[in-house]
Amino acid sequence: QQQFELLAASACLQSAPIHDDGAPPYLNQAVLIATALPPTELKQRLRAIEASLGRVRPAPRPGLCPIDIDLVAELGPPLTVWDPKSWNSSYGRSVIRDLMEFAKCNNIEGFVQPPIDTV
């Protein structure tokens, strides 16, 4: 909220770590922001936010980090998925779907129905 116009935030969803059984559960949340930044510049800004919150690259312990901000998709038009792994993941699907429903209900400019696979 300090760096971008926050349009919406999903609920938080707790999920088990995928690759590290000794890691604590993760909290997943998706946000919808308004920005004119191109994806490469936006990703740099997101990495700076991660660093300010204690993220170190490479991680001292693989699979464990205090914060991970992914640039998943741009509403467009057209809809552009930047991170298919997060877009189609079980941990990301419900929080992303929350935001897509918000965009649809609030007539966010450029919104198109996303192709999120259902389980």
The 10 Å Cβ neighbour count of residue 28 is: 22
Q: What is the mean pLDDT of residues 40-45?
A: 93
For residue 20, is pLDDT > 80? Answer: no
Burial environment of residue 79 by CB neighbours within 10 A (0 to 12, 13 to 18, 19 or more): middle
* Whether the model pTM is above 0.95: no
**3, 31 contact by CB (below 8 A):** no
Does residue 54 come out as left (phi exceeding 0), alpha (psi in the -120 to 50 range) or beta? left
Specify the pLDDT at position 115.
54
Specify the pLDDT at position 113.
56
